[in-house]
Amino acid sequence: MRKTGFRSAALIACTVAMVLSLPGPAAATSGPGCLVVVNVAANDALNMRSRPSASSSIVDTLVPGRHGIIHLDAPCEPPSRPWPSRWCPVSHYNGDFVSHGWVKARYVRDSDCP
């Protein structure tokens, strides 16, 4: 009976360790994982789209230097294309407003989250 208790305790400990090591939801708090708008004129804005296509609907606009936090939610795709041709899934945090969509990689660069 003692071996069974030890095995159960070991199994529980392993399960807890695995659950704690799983990545949690993306949070735009601090550290790497954010983006900044580049290659867009100061009097223009980057359109965030509902899908990874220039013909899809605009869900938000990101003004260079005044866009709040842009969090990269997953790798830009498709990985087989050159970086400027990829689309990046993002979340945009601007005050109490949060939007989700896609931006063209050529107009963003990596940045630490504030």
Structure confidence by residue, pLDDT tens digits, 55-92: 999 999 999 988 889 999 999 999 999 999 999 999 99
Nearest residue to 112 via CA among 45, 39, 48, 28: 28
The dotted CATH code for 25-113 is 2.30.30.40
Going by the DSSP 8-state scheme, the letter that residue 47 receives in this structure is E
Q: pTM for this one? A: 0.71
Strand, helix or coil at 17?
Answer: helix
Query: What amino acid is encoded at 93 in this protein?
Result: Y
Alpha carbons 52 and 56: distance in angstroms, whole number: 7
Q: Let me know how many helices (H) and strands (E) the chain has, helices first.
A: 1, 7
Split at pLDDT 50, 70, 90, the class of 32 is confident
